[in-house]
Amino acid sequence: MLRYAAAYLRRLCLASPFAAMALVCLCAGIAGCRRHAPRAPYPDPARYEIRGLDVSAHNGEIDFDKVRAEGYEFVYIKASEGGTFRDKRFIENVINARKAGLKVGAYHFFRFDTPGYMQGLNFAGAMEGRGLDLPAVIDLEEWTNPNSQTNSLVMSRLSEMMDHLESRGHRVMLYTNKNGYTRFLRDSPRTSMLWICALGEEPEGVDWTFWQATHSGRVEGTDHPVDINAFAGGRKEWEEFLRAE
C-alpha cells in the first residue's frame, strides 16, 4: 500500500507540486489527529475504585452479570420523567441488576414545565416497593427542556418535588451538568448531594458525590455506548454511604 501511495505522490508532484504538497499536509494532519486523539475519559480505576453506570430504555437489553464481572459496582436506572412518563425497562433493569449483585438507584428526568408535586408523585410511585440501595436522583438539565420558564419557577418546582420525595423517606441527590450547576445550583440556598457531569475532566470547584465522566463508555454486557460514573470516596466511604440510605 505504501509503495503505491509513494508512486502516486511522485506522479502528482510532477503534474502539480502545489497539489502534492497539499495532499502531504492533509495526510500528516490526519495521522496527527489519530495519534493524538484522546481516549474515552473513563474514570481511572486506580483513583476511583467504585465505578458504575447509568442506563435507560435507550440502552436496550443489558447483561448485568457481564457488567458486574467488568468490575462495576452500581447502576442508576431511569424510572420516570415529568408527571406521567415511566421508563419501559425500569422494572426489568432493576430486577436484573439486583440479581447480578449491583447496587441500584433510580433517577427521574425533571421537566421544567410540569409542577414539582406531580413529578414527585410519579417518581415516588415508580420507586415504591423496589428496595433501592442509592439515593433518589432528580436529573436537572436544560437539554430537551423548554427555556420559557424562569429560574425562580424551575427552582420552585424542583423544591416542591424534593419536599415530596423527602416526606416519603427518600434521600435526594441532584444530577446536572456544568451549565445546569451554574444556572440553578451554584447560588441556591438549598443544598443536596450532587452528581455532576463533566466529560473528559475531573470536576473542580464543586463538592460532588458522583461524577459522570463519559457518555461513550464501552462495557461488556451492553451493545451501545453507555455513561460511566465514579463515586468520590474509597471503599470505606462507599460502605458508609450505603449504610446511610
At 190, the pLDDT band (50, 70, 90 cuts) reads: confident
Mean pLDDT of 186-191: 90
**Residue 195's closest CA among 70, 53, 87?**
53
Mean pLDDT of the chain: 87
The H or E element spanning position 106 is strand 103-109
Which of 18-27, 127-136, 154-163, 168-177 shows the lowest per-residue confidence on average (mean pLDDT)? Answer: 18-27
**Residue 62's closest CA among 194, 220, 236, 175?**
220
Which backbone phi and psi does 83 adopt, to 5 degrees? -90, -20
Q: Is the model's pLDDT at 11 over the cut of 90?
A: no
Supply the pTM of this predicted model.
0.83
Which amino acid appears at position 156 of this protein? S
Per-residue pLDDT tens for 201-244?
899 899 999 999 999 999 999 999 999 999 999 999 999 999 98
Cell numbers representing residue 153 in the block: 419557577
Mean pLDDT of 145-160: 96
Q: What is the predicted pLDDT for the residue at 201?
A: 87
CA distance 166 to 187: 22
Q: Are 82 and 49 in contact (CB under 8 A)?
A: no
**Residue 140's closest CA among 71, 61, 96, 194?**
194
**Residue 27's closest CA among 15, 17, 16, 35?**
35
Residues whose CB is less than 8 angstroms from the CB of residue 5 and which lie 6 or more positions away in sequence, other chains included = none
Own/partner pairs, 128-132, CB within 8 angstroms, 24+ separation: 130/91, 130/94, 130/104, 130/106, 131/98, 132/94, 132/104, 132/105, 132/106
At 245, the pLDDT band (50, 70, 90 cuts) reads: low
At 191, the pLDDT band (50, 70, 90 cuts) reads: confident
